[in-house]
Structure 1
Amino acid sequence: MIKRLINLPEKSSFFLFGARQTGKSTLVRENLKNGWYVDLLHSEEYHLYLKAPEQFRRNSVYKIEKEGVTEIVIDEIQRVPALLNEIHSLIADYPGTRFIMTGSSARKLCRGGVNLLGGRAVERRLHPLTYLEQKENFNLETALRFGTLVGCAGKSEIETQETLAAYADTYLREEIQSEGIARNLAGFSRFLDIAAARNGEIVNQTGIGRECGLSCNSVKSYYSILEDTLIGIRIDPYIKSVGKRVSAHPKYYLFDTGIANALQKQLTAGLDPVRRGRLFEQFIVLETYRMISYRRSEAELFYWRTRSGSEVDLLIVKHGTIQAAIEIKSGTSVAQPDCRGLRDFGQNNPDVPLFLVGAIGQPFFLGNVQVLPWERYLENLEQWL
């Protein structure tokens, strides 16, 4: 059993959101002590409570009063949002019972105007496995090629490829449409292909719209779907003016390197230097993002780029202060030219620690830049959060 980094509330009710195959159901079942488990992916339970949400209350009351149940889990709560009204009432009537609601899509709940329990339940997010969770069994090359979804852990290479291909073709394209999230499946499918190809790049939504035959508003909406379904994360450029930042071009990273490769039909391909570099950058960004989430930190991630093209891959900003500037290089050797973006950034931000994270063996200095092995960076990441 892999010990996850996430800290779940011990007594209060909570939402646990995460993309499919991140291990939500397994984690909740492992922590369920005296509970009743409702799985809305099961057709019988789904149709029962979809037609009659009030029946969930009747069943819950019986479980609590007659069977002594103190925990009730509702898996994939976004499939029947009306249950939240019943849960709201039950929390008020039975304060000794906690409700655990998991979901692979927060979109229906966050944007559907449904009852979010008035602050009576906190929120947690579960991500694919991190380096620190797998540490002794972690292999960087495998992670870059196939990602770290829990659903792929322990599988053979062929089984992993099949799982990721099915995830990309079935879930991302078909199930998102079946839940009414993206009605134009053909357009969304074309968008996914382009989004995967632009993974980690600065996004020009107008240009992407032209490539896949969609309006700029549709592209904007589809990127929003990726965020809301926890499939993509958005990294904005660092601009001190929040207003200007909103209108600037962001970067988007898919939530898992294996899914990125699956969408690009690159699961059986080797890692050439260019692809490896992009995937390594994605890996470091995702690991940083996941640690911020798990530590409940108020830190934010940005990238920095000047009009002349000087760029830093990642800034960690907390309470308006830049905690660290990080350049990411996949090579096993590092030289002064690799630090150009960091040096340019440091000229106007002399008090910010500068780091270059790479696949090197030992840490060292290049001028005022600390060059760190990627393992050392991840092991010490919390100090900048």
Structure 2
Amino acid sequence: MYTRYLNISSILARKSLFLLGPRQTGKTTFLKNLPGKKAHFIDLLKPSVYQDILRNPEYLAEVISAHENETSIFVIDEIQKVPSVLDEVHRLIELNKKLRFVLTGSSARKLRRQGVNLLGGRAAMVRFHPITSSEAEDQIKIEKLFKCGGLPFILTSDKPMDDLKDYVGLYLKEEIHAEGLSRSIENFSLFLNAAGLSQCEQINFTAVGNDAQIPPRTVIDYFTVLEDTLIGHMLPAYTKTKKRKAMTSAKFYFFDVGVGNILGAREMTTQRNPIYGKILEHFIFTELRAYLDYNFLDYPLCYWRSTSQFEVDFVIPLSAKTAIGIEVKSARNPVKRDFKGLLALEEDIKLERKIVICGADVKRKLESGIEIYPLRSFLHELWKQQIF
């Protein structure tokens, strides 16, 4: 079992929370091992529980009444299965201010689409991610995270790539069915293949539509499905530069490097191979996204590309006037052209740090202020909260 970085104790001391993340990322295991806390679980994936809660509006109150002497924390697994139960959760919270609900889910889409009661600020929103480098540090090689991603059951599998393919196929079918898109399963499958090939790049909806032979408007809708079902993330463009006009199209990343490798037909090869660079960039994205979410930091995560083709892989604005710039390179010894984007961006905004993550063996700082980081050094300092 992995020790997770996320700590929700301070939130539970104040209020209830939604814990949202893709399936099999380990949400339930995490909640069953909360330090010093015991919770009662109500699993909506169990057919009997699902039917009971649909038939009997008082079911939830009766369960809580039977267990409130044992615990004040109640976990409702897969809340999107019965979104209407949130009205009853709201009522129970109002009746007993000491009650805490942890509402897990693998889709925000159904909750939002049905316009259900999201508890009006009485519950925090927390995102849950696959295993990060800080959580796997002592147990598996980082190369395995590159190849297989961070889904816990994949990391312990004897045949991780076969199981990953099955996961992607099953997840696709179940999510398509859940979203009422079963009539479009063939179109969505074609789209998913095209999206896999375009990940880590600026999204061109028309080009993806041409590859999948579906209209651009449908492509936009399908990307929204991927975001709302937590399968993917958009990386918005940083557009506040004045000296150089910025591109505005977002980039797209799947939530897990292993899933991205399967859907993008990416095979782990040598460090000099261009595919390695894309996998490394994807991996850094997932680490940064998880770090921001787990530390409850509201900083945006962006990228920057000018119309004159200067680019910075990741920009984290700290304020209106300052940011951190991070460039990811597969080279062992990056040269000036590898970080020209960072120097160009600094002409518009003060960069508190200009970081290049690469295959170097030694961390060093150049006269220009560019910080060269070996991958492991960057990850270590990131999760020790020494980068920002």
Name structure 1 gaps, 5 residues minimum.
none
Q: 1:150 to 1:347 in 2, by over 3 A?
A: same
Contact (CA 8 Å) 1:298, 1:319: kept in 2 or not? no
Equivalence for 1:13: 16
Once residues 228 and 169 of structure 2 are traced to their aligned partners in structure 1, the CA distance between those partners, rounded to angstroms, is 19
Contact (CA 8 Å) 1:298, 1:318: kept in 2 or not? no
1:357 Cα deviation after fit: 0.8
Does residue 180 of structure 1 match 2:179? yes
Once residues 107 and 118 of structure 1 are traced to their aligned partners in structure 2, the CA distance between those partners, rounded to angstroms, is 17
Once residues 59 and 351 of structure 1 are traced to their aligned partners in structure 2, the CA distance between those partners, rounded to angstroms, is 53
Contact (CA 8 Å) 2:32, 2:38: kept in 1 or not? no
Once residues 367 and 247 of structure 1 are traced to their aligned partners in structure 2, the CA distance between those partners, rounded to angstroms, is 29
Contact (CA 8 Å) 2:199, 2:264: kept in 1 or not? no
Once residues 247 and 316 of structure 1 are traced to their aligned partners in structure 2, the CA distance between those partners, rounded to angstroms, is 17
Q: 1:26 to 1:220 in 2, by over 3 A?
A: same
Equivalence for 1:79: 81
312-321 or 289-298: bigger deviation:
312-321
Once residues 16 and 109 of structure 1 are traced to their aligned partners in structure 2, the CA distance between those partners, rounded to angstroms, is 13
Does residue 250 of structure 1 match 2:254? no
Once residues 164 and 312 of structure 1 are traced to their aligned partners in structure 2, the CA distance between those partners, rounded to angstroms, is 31
Contact (CA 8 Å) 1:181, 1:225: kept in 2 or not? no
What pairs with 1:163-242 in structure 2 (closer than 5 Å)?
163-171=163-171, 173-180=172-179, 182-183=181-182, 184-240=184-240
1:280 Cα deviation after fit: 0.3
1:311 Cα deviation after fit: 1.0
Once residues 257 and 128 of structure 1 are traced to their aligned partners in structure 2, the CA distance between those partners, rounded to angstroms, is 10
Q: 1:49 to 1:274 in 2, by over 3 A?
A: same
Match of 1:43 among 36, 42, 47: 47
Does residue 56 of structure 1 match 2:60? yes
Equivalence for 1:132: 134
The structure with more helix, counted as a fraction of residues: 1
Equivalence for 2:378: 377
Once residues 33 and 349 of structure 1 are traced to their aligned partners in structure 2, the CA distance between those partners, rounded to angstroms, is 45
**Count of residues in correspondence between the two structures:** 376
Once residues 246 and 234 of structure 1 are traced to their aligned partners in structure 2, the CA distance between those partners, rounded to angstroms, is 17
Once residues 379 and 69 of structure 1 are traced to their aligned partners in structure 2, the CA distance between those partners, rounded to angstroms, is 37
Name structure 2 gaps, 5 residues minimum.
none
- Map Cα deviations across residues 344-381 of structure 1 (whole Å, 9 max, x no partner): 22344455432111121111234411111122222333
1:343 Cα deviation after fit: 2.6
Equivalence for 1:95: 97
Match of 1:122 among 120, 124, 144: 124
- Map Cα deviations across residues 129-167 of structure 1 (whole Å, 9 max, x no partner): 1111122234232111111112223222x1x11221111
The aligned amino acid for 1:179 is A
Give the secondary-structure state (helix, strand or coil) at the position aligned to 2:125.
strand
Give the secondary-structure state (helix, strand or coil) at the position aligned to 1:61.
helix
Once residues 49 and 376 of structure 1 are traced to their aligned partners in structure 2, the CA distance between those partners, rounded to angstroms, is 50
Give the secondary-structure state (helix, strand or coil) at the position aligned to 1:380.
helix
1:337 Cα deviation after fit: 2.4
Once residues 179 and 81 of structure 2 are traced to their aligned partners in structure 1, the CA distance between those partners, rounded to angstroms, is 11
Give the secondary-structure state (helix, strand or coil) at the position aligned to 2:326.
strand
Equivalence for 1:105: 107
Once residues 315 and 151 of structure 2 are traced to their aligned partners in structure 1, the CA distance between those partners, rounded to angstroms, is 26
Q: 1:163 to 1:174 in 2, by over 3 A?
A: same
- Map Cα deviations across residues 77-97 of structure 1 (whole Å, 9 max, x no partner): 111111111111111122222
The aligned amino acid for 1:70 is S
Task: Report the aligned-residue RMSD.
Answer: 2.3
187-196 or 321-330: bigger deviation:
321-330
The aligned amino acid for 2:43 is D
Once residues 164 and 276 of structure 2 are traced to their aligned partners in structure 1, the CA distance between those partners, rounded to angstroms, is 18
Once residues 348 and 72 of structure 2 are traced to their aligned partners in structure 1, the CA distance between those partners, rounded to angstroms, is 56
Contact (CA 8 Å) 1:53, 1:82: kept in 2 or not? no
Equivalence for 1:151: 153
Once residues 55 and 266 of structure 2 are traced to their aligned partners in structure 1, the CA distance between those partners, rounded to angstroms, is 43
Q: 1:230 to 1:61 in 2, by over 3 A?
A: same
Equivalence for 2:334: 334
1:252 Cα deviation after fit: 0.6
Once residues 52 and 350 of structure 2 are traced to their aligned partners in structure 1, the CA distance between those partners, rounded to angstroms, is 62
Once residues 63 and 139 of structure 1 are traced to their aligned partners in structure 2, the CA distance between those partners, rounded to angstroms, is 42
Once residues 325 and 181 of structure 1 are traced to their aligned partners in structure 2, the CA distance between those partners, rounded to angstroms, is 41
Does residue 293 of structure 1 match 2:293? yes
What pairs with 1:236-385 in structure 2 (closer than 5 Å)?
236-240=236-240, 248-266=248-266, 270=269, 273-349=273-349, 351-368=351-368, 369-381=370-382, 382-385=385-388
Once residues 288 and 123 of structure 2 are traced to their aligned partners in structure 1, the CA distance between those partners, rounded to angstroms, is 26
Once residues 246 and 334 of structure 2 are traced to their aligned partners in structure 1, the CA distance between those partners, rounded to angstroms, is 34
Once residues 343 and 105 of structure 2 are traced to their aligned partners in structure 1, the CA distance between those partners, rounded to angstroms, is 43
1:383 Cα deviation after fit: 4.5
1:68 Cα deviation after fit: 4.1
TM-score under structure 2 length normalisation: 0.90
Once residues 168 and 96 of structure 1 are traced to their aligned partners in structure 2, the CA distance between those partners, rounded to angstroms, is 40
Once residues 308 and 340 of structure 1 are traced to their aligned partners in structure 2, the CA distance between those partners, rounded to angstroms, is 12
- Map Cα deviations across residues 250-305 of structure 1 (whole Å, 9 max, x no partner): 001111110011223456x6457111110001111111111011111111111111
